[in-house]
C-alpha cells in the first residue's frame, strides 16, 4: 500500500477533482484490492492492476454524483504569493478542463500523461485494446488543448 498510495490518490483526484472524494475512492480501491488480491494473476504489473482498480472506483463514484462547481486549488509552490496565485489558477484550469473530458478520455490522459504509463499499460488498466487506449489519449489531449488555449 505504501508503495502505491500516492499514485492511486493522484489518479482518483484527477478523475474526481475533489480531494475528499479522492481520499474515499483511494481507500475503496485499496479495500477492493485486498479483497480481490487472489484475482491478480501477474500478467501485468501490480501497479497497473492497482491503478485499474482506482480508475474503476473513481469512474463509478463520478457517475453516481453531480458534477462539482470548479474550485480554486492550493498551489504547492514555495514561491511568493503572486506566483502561488498564478500556479493555483493554472492548476485549477487544468482540473476544470480534465473534468470536462469524457470519463474514458480523462482516465486515459491521466494514466498516460500524468502517471506515465505506457499505452499498453493504459490499455490494461482500462481493459481496452491498445488502439482504443491510444485513441482515447489522443482525443483527450486534443480536447484539453482546445479548452486550455
Residue 104 sits in a domain whose CATH number is: 1.20.140.160
Q: pLDDT tens-digit profile of 70-101?
A: 443 344 445 566 666 666 677 778 888 888 89
Domain of residue 91 covers 5-69+77-148
Q: What is the pLDDT of residues 13-23, one digit of tens each?
A: 988 888 899 99
Instruction: Give the mean pLDDT of 33-52.
Output: 89
How many domains, the chain? Answer: 1
Tell me whether residue 10 is exposed, middle or buried, using C-beta atoms within 10 angstroms of its C-beta: 0 to 12, 13 to 18, 19 or more.
middle
Identify the band that residue 26 occupies on the pLDDT scale cut at 50, 70 and 90. Answer: very high
C-alpha cell at 38: 487472489
Per-residue pLDDT at 6: 93
Output 43 or 123, whichever has higher pLDDT.
Answer: 123
Amino acid at each position: 500500500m505504501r508503495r502505491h498510495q500516492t499514485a492511486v490518490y493522484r489518479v482518483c483526484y484527477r478523475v474526481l477533482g475533489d480531494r475528499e472524494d479522492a481520499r474515499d475512492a483511494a481507500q475503496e480501491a485499496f479495500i477492493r484490492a485486498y479483497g480481490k488480491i487472489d484475482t491478480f494473476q501477474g500478467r501485468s504489473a501490480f501497479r497497473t492492476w492497482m491503478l485499474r482498480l482506482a480508475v474503476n472506483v473513481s469512474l463509478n463514484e463520478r457517475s453516481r454524483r453531480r458534477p462539482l462547481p470548479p474550485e480554486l486549488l492550493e498551489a504547492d509552490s514555495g514561491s511568493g504569493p503572486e506566483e502561488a496565485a498564478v500556479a493555483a489558477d493554472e492548476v485549477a484550469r487544468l482540473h476544470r478542463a480534465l473534468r470536462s473530458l469524457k470519463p474514458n478520455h480523462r482516465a486515459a490522459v491521466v494514466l498516460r500523461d500524468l502517471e506515465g504509463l505506457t499505452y499498453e499499460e493504459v490499455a490494461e488498466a482500462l481493459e481496452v485494446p491498445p488502439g482504443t487506449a491510444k485513441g482515447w489519449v489522443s482525443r483527450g489531449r486534443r480536447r484539453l488543448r482546445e479548452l486550455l488555449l
